[in-house]
Amino acid sequence: MIDLHCHIIPWIDDGADSAAVACKMAEHALRSGVDTIVCTPHCNISDDIPNYRGRDYDVCFGMFRALLQQHGIPLRVLPGCELFASRSNLRRLLDENRIATLNHSRYLLTEFNFNDSGERMTAALDLIAQHGRIPVVAHPERYDCVQRDPKLAVSWFAKGYIIQLNKGSLLGLLGQRAYYAGTHLLASGIAHAVASDAHDDRYRTTGLQSLLPVLERYCSPDYVQLLLETNPKRIIQDRHIPAPESE
């Protein structure tokens, strides 16, 4: 399996808070059948956590990769970020090409303030698309506007934006509203990928194995494969993703 969304790089955001925790997260991922993680630290979430493309990010990523090698942990890690798109500087960041996409592809993992309006989210996603990126909407099931009106996520899906659900939402660990919205989107067939959004090795972990019983309740075996492997692979290889129901 390939995990597209994971806060595993230590020292860089509110994810792994030490090298030891990052190594545990990597080992946990491998044990659960994940062989590749795209490292997606928060980017632009505040002036304290910028994590824009550039030397600082490359150094942190390189140190993390070296750490895994030192410990003999055979997990493949790829660069990326989770862009916080609810700030007014979005256009400037896009114009200046300062945001890391998922493994240098066109796909850009994008998150919002949970209480942002649907109109503002749609405008930001459209702006990202106008800049030649394909938005991957991080955990739409956690946003208030989607919980109130899931058709909003359907409208993003219809524009070709990628819908990524969180493991924690589908396991009911992130509240009832996220659980209901997440399983609704899953059952509607508009989800393209499910990822861990792991931040540590105790509560929001890298293991994806625990997801399988929930996914199997709502999806065919082929769709489960699409969510955890086929589509994430297309993203890291910068390939086109057809709508799930057309496959």
User: Rule CB under 5 A: which residues touch Fe ion?
Assistant: 82, 197
Which residue, 5 or 53, is less far from Fe ion as judged by CB?
5
Residue in the shown chain whose Cβ atom is closest to Fe ion: 197
Say which DSSP state 136 is in.
Answer: E
Q: How far is the CB of 197 from Fe ion (least distance, A)?
A: 4
What is the smallest separation between the CB atom of 142 and Fe ion, expressed in angstroms? Answer: 10
Which one, 197 or 201, has the nearer CB to Fe ion? 197
- Residue 61 tokens read as 């990523």
Q: How far is the CB of 210 from Fe ion (least distance, A)?
A: 18
Shortest Cβ 15–Fe ion spacing (Å): 8
DSSP per position, 70-135: HTT---EEE---EEE--STTHHHHHHTT-S--GGGSSEEEEE--TT--HHHHHHHHHHHHHTT-EE
Q: Name the residue nearer to Fe ion (CB basis): 6 or 224.
A: 6
Q: CA-CA distance, 225 to 216, in Å (whole number)?
A: 10
Q: For residues 82 and 141, which CB has a smaller minimum distance to Fe ion in the complex?
A: 82
